[in-house]
Amino acid sequence: MLHEFRDVQFMSAAQKTTVLRAWIRFLKSGLQFERFTKALYDHLIQHCSFIAHYNRAGFYSHYFEAGDSTAFFLSQFDSRGQCLSVEYGGRHWLSGDYEDINRAMIAEGEAFIPSRLDTAHRRQEAADIATATALLAKHGISAEGIGRSSGAGRSTGEAAKAQQELLPHG
């Protein structure tokens, strides 16, 4: 981590370094709440175009409890994408007084974000399957024997059979 930061009116270079270290620890930890520091939260809501979601716990709950929300959050810092603000769109958060720290967060994220995205997608898939299974069970239908799709838009024979059995035709 070799980044040069400049002091600005509301954040010193030392504070920027502290936030970047907190960001790296948070990513390394697998996005654990205990590593989501107040300094990191404050920077995200004050200088990265995120809304507060009431407080640090509310922000964490909004972005890090569901896989889809986590992936959405991480997309803002994923150098493989456009790094658009997930709250407002645009790249305005990457200019001005905090451009140095925000670009450093993107650069440091390169080592962690791909695996964190993979984890988020797997977590969301598991949650979706659990929800679907619960909904089927609610209506007395077993999810056992329903197969996975073998690719986008192509169902296995088992899934097609399940769809025929479950969906009304008429």
- Written as tens digits, the pLDDT of the chain (170 aa) is 789 999 999 999 999 999 999 999 999 999 999 999 999 999 999 999 999 999 999 999 999 999 999 999 999 999 999 999 999 999 999 999 999 999 999 999 999 999 999 999 999 999 999 999 999 999 999 888 787 766 554 344 444 454 445 454 43
Structural contact between residues 105 and 77, judged by C-beta atoms closer than 8 angstroms: yes
CB 22 within 8 A of CB 29: no
Same domain, 106 and 150: no
Residue with tokens 């010193």: 12
CA dihedral 102, 55, 71, 156 (to 10 degrees): 180
> Is residue 159 within 8 Å of 170, Cβ to Cβ?
no
Does residue 133 form part of some domain? no
Locate 36 and state its tokens: 């989501």
C-alpha–C-alpha distance, residues 75 and 84, integer Å:
8
At residue 161, the 3 state secondary structure works out as helix
**Through-space distance between the first and last CA atoms of the chain, rounded to whole angstroms:** 62
Assigned domain for 123 exists: no
Report which residue type is found at 36.
F
Whole-prediction pTM value? 0.84
Query: Do 82 and 23 fall into the same domain?
Result: yes
Q: Please give the pLDDT value at position 154.
A: 37
Say what the pLDDT of residue 163 is: 46
Do residue 50 and residue 110 come from a single domain? yes
Answer yes or no: do 112 and 155 share one domain: no
Same domain, 164 and 84: no
Does residue 55 lie in a domain region?
Answer: yes
- Report pLDDT for 170: 39
Question: Quick one: 148 and 107 in the same domain?
Answer: no
| pLDDT of the residue at 159 | 45
Say what the pLDDT of residue 82 is. Answer: 97
Helix, strand or coil, per DSSP, at residue 132: helix
Q: What is the domain count for the chain?
A: 2
Do 73 and 113 share a domain, yes or no?
yes
pLDDT at 169: 46
Mark whether 99 and 144 lie in a shared domain: no
If asked whether residues 113 and 144 sit together in one domain, one would say no
Boundary of a domain, candidates 117, 132, 159: 117
Q: Provide the domain limits for residue 165.
A: 140-170
Does 105 map to a domain?
Answer: yes
CA 85 to chain centre: 13
